[in-house]
Chains A and B, each alone.
Chain A
Amino acid sequence: MAEMRIAGTQDAKHDGPRPIRNASRFGWIGVLKKNRKAQVGFIIFMGFILVAVLAPEIARYSPSNTNFPPLEPPSAQHWFGTTGLGQDVYSQFIWGTRSSLIVGFGATLISTLLAVAVGMYPAYWGGWLDRVMATFTNIFLVIPGLPLMIVAAAYVHHSNTLTMMAIIGLTGWAGRARVLRSQTLSLARREFVWAARLTGASDWRVLVHEILPNMLSLFMASLLYGILGAILAEAGLEFLGLGNLSGVSWGSLLYWANNGGAVLDGAWWWLLPGGLGIAVFGTSLALMNFGLDEVTNPRLRQMSMVSRDRLMRAWRALKGESSL
């Protein structure tokens, strides 16, 4: 029938390399094509990335330049106004975006590597290694994260970007390791994973080619969640004055605004950019996550009810055709 037709046209030329249908519908591109929320989230996200990358070009002044009149409200000279110390808030925000994102991504990279190493790999391997690593993860999970971070940050004292990344990354992997572990456990026992091993695939190949693509949506969600967590953690530490106080970031913007009495002086322009940056960037991550969820989890997708009348008409048309 239908198969025969295809066979007739393709049989002759199948020996050469054939275009391989890729699994993109499970990945990012498919999600972006299909889902409005993901599209909006992605556009905002890319906007922030652009700001971070182009910071030297688009910041109008140096963020540490204190030569401006203090506590000026937004104006043509200072789009976001100035701080109590006479810095340009707009330039601080732009440079702050850059350093916040760098710390956020860097910390997420560290925590992802740890989560994969502690969560995924041992779960696939099984046995004592998994038991030890699972216990280790659980111990880390019950240690309250923020105090641990605070202690670590206070101990390091003069933290720079790198130490911030390390502190946040090293304290934020446990929850994600657990999620990856449970998913890996369930996938590693599927027959197709066994079959791949039986056909001689190496363990890394099984992990990367068989297991990981099947948990891509979870992995992505965990990644987005990780970035959000890292940025919040960075802002929290900075706000508490435990960060890199010589640099600017969304958190330090808030810290200085708070310490400089922005609230008392009614200098809303000093407080707002840092907070909004965190909130909007967080929203973009959340939107992408929702979109990903809806596309990969059919239960969340809005079920489109077919109209009975329309189907009835189509059916009658079909029958009318075939009876002719």
Chain B
Amino acid sequence: MNENHSAILSIEHVSVVYETEAGLAPAVNDVTLELEPGKILGLVGESGCGKSTLAQAIMGLLPPNASLVEGRIAVQDCDLYTLSEPALRAFRWKNVSMVFQSALVTLNPVIPVGKQFEEIFTIHRPAMSRPEVLRRIEELLNLVRIHPQHLRNFAHELSGGMRQRVAIAMAIALDPALIIMDEPTTALDAVVQQEILDEIRRIQEIKRFAVVFISHDLRLVSYISSEIAIMYAGKIVEFGPAERFLSEARHHPYTQGLLDSIPHLEGERFSIHSVPGSPPDLVNPVSGCAFHPRCFAAYEACLAAAPQLKRVGSGQIACFDVERKQKEEAHG
């Protein structure tokens, strides 16, 4: 396929601010990202780092007390924030859809799953006849390996894994070019989690949609993504192809902390470490680099100014310590 680098999703210098009782909280702060068709972008960070807010901004679903205050988000070259509310509603799901952590968010508990499936088509494809719709739904369910008999079930009658499969089938129902997946496997057991990840990969290879995959688990994200962005306090602190997070040695100290928190299976025991300290305060940010209070490598420069993303190996890192070490290497 030749899409000539026309990005599916382009996020340019986006900032999203929440108005809270304590003051302004910039949950997303000057984020720039681009996603090409058919790629899976992993967005990783702890809760409160802004990854879910970014997802909501991409869907045009920000809560009422939040607003995109800077930058531009375009899906398939269409600036979401210039669309009228009805146009946005039509655009959503058709061009960009979403899978949530709990399928119970998307699935109405008192309507059978099949009926909800049909609703997607009655809203977005009113011209389709009912037999056509039913045939399409069956196709979709086959794709996610759910037996069509489950269409008569209510959401709570399905297991967690099955619900998530149904949610995925609904997300791809209108063949969107982009799907946002916000922690889609976090609530699942290890075995089912892996099954769902494999399912996403398999379907993604068939349908070639692009995915923004959001999770707090770097190990899981590096399993499924082609590119990974690490977010901390609303900013991207490291970005690069997924391989670099497993192979290359030089990382942002926060990424290093996330990598260390992955249990290592070799030897007799697993070892796990935490990133020390607590998540950042967005309303009263610290000076300089937001990560410096928790950073093992912080020095004076980190308190004075915020580092920018700089090319390191195959990726980009925003860290003065990494910059310094690189310079030392170049000289020595």
Contacts and interface: CB of A to CB of B under 8 A. Distances in A.
Direct contact of A and B (CB under 8 A): yes
Interface of A: 1-2, 303-306, 308, 311-312, 314-315, 318
Contacts of A303: 64
B207 to A, nearest CB: 35
Contacts of A1: 281, 284, 286, 293
Contact of A306 (B26, B67, B284, B293): B67
A1 B65 CA distance: 26
30 contacts: A1-B281, A1-B286, A1-B293, A2-B281, A2-B284, A303-B64, A304-B64, A304-B65, A305-B64, A306-B19, A306-B64, A306-B65, A306-B66, A306-B67, A308-B67, A308-B69, A311-B17, A311-B19, A311-B24, A311-B69, A312-B69, A312-B70, A314-B17, A314-B24, A315-B15, A315-B17, A315-B24, A315-B69, A318-B24, A318-B26
Contact of B70 (A305, A306, A315): A315
Contacts of B68: 308
Interface in B202-250: none
Contacts of A312: 67, 69-70
A199 B188 CA distance: 31
B69 to A, nearest CB: 4
B82 to A, nearest CB: 13
Contacts of B24: 311, 314-315, 318
Interface residues of B, number: 16
A312 B67 CA distance: 8
Nearest to B66: A306
Select the residue from B15, B17, B68, B286 with max chain A CB neighbours within 10 A: B17
For the complex of A and B, 3 pairs with smallest distance between CB atoms:
A315-B69, A308-B67, A312-B69
A303 B67 CA distance: 14
Given A308-B69, A312-B67, A314-B17, 8 more contacts: A1-B281, A1-B293, A304-B65, A306-B19, A308-B68, A311-B24, A312-B69, A315-B26
- The residue among B65, B69, B70 with the most chain A CB atoms within 10 A of its own CB is B69
Contacts of A2: 281, 284
Contacts of A314: 17, 24
Contacts of B70: 312, 315
A169 to B, nearest CB: 36
Contact of A311 (B67, B281, B284): B67
B65 to A, nearest CB: 5
Contacts of B19: 306, 311
A305 B66 CA distance: 8
B277 to A, nearest CB: 9
Interface string B1-37: 0000000000000010101000010100000000000
Contacts of B284: 1-2
A203 B12 CA distance: 58
B30 to A, nearest CB: 9
A260 B281 CA distance: 74
A303 B293 CA distance: 36
Contacts of B281: 1-2
A303 B65 CA distance: 8
A315 B19 CA distance: 10
Interface in B60-106: 64-70
A294 to B, nearest CB: 16
Contacts of A306: 19, 64-67
A314 B26 CA distance: 11
Contacts of B64: 303-306
A58 B61 CA distance: 59
A195 to B, nearest CB: 22
Contacts of B67: 306, 308, 311-312
B28 to A, nearest CB: 11
B24 to A, nearest CB: 6
Nearest to B68: A308
A310 to B, nearest CB: 9
A304 B20 CA distance: 12
Task: Specify which of A2, A306, A314 lies most central, judged by the most chain B CB atoms within 10 Å of its CB.
Answer: A306
A318 B23 CA distance: 11
Nearest to B285: A322
Interface in B280-311: 281, 284, 286, 293
A304 B26 CA distance: 19
Nearest to A311: B67
A321 B68 CA distance: 20
A198 B284 CA distance: 39
Contacts of B26: 315, 318
Nearest to A304: B64
A47 to B, nearest CB: 34
A155 B293 CA distance: 78
